[in-house]
Amino acid sequence: MHRNVFGRLYEWLGSNKTAKEPGDIKRIVREHIFQTVAVAPGERIHGERLPEQRLRSVASLAILTALRAGARPVDEIT
């Protein structure tokens, strides 16, 4: 999703072919993604991995709560 939102900026920041280091903008965009998008733990965004999930999507929350409550996962319900 974040690739679609930031488009060419995201691609440019992730490119190894840039003439010089983009500086703080890379860190700022990465932190914005970590704070506003449900990024899975361990997913790499511009060279940094998110150690633990900060936000959840409805789907990831449903899976998490079903597992903790002992209910069947959503895909098993017919």
Distance CA 64, CA 73 (A): 9
pLDDT single digits (tens) 3-46:
777 888 888 888 877 677 778 888 899 888 888 887 888 888 88
Task: Give how far the C-alpha of residue 70 lies from the chain's centroid of Cα atoms, to the nearest Å.
Answer: 27
Specify the pTM. 0.62
Query: Domain residues for 13?
Result: 2-76
Distance CA 19, CA 35 (A): 28
* Segments in 1-78 forming alpha helices (H): 2-14, 24-36, 58-69
Three-class SS of residue 48?
strand
- What pLDDT does residue 47 have? 81
The total number of structural domains that make up the chain: 1
**Radius of gyration over every alpha carbon of the chain, rounded to an integer in angstroms:** 16
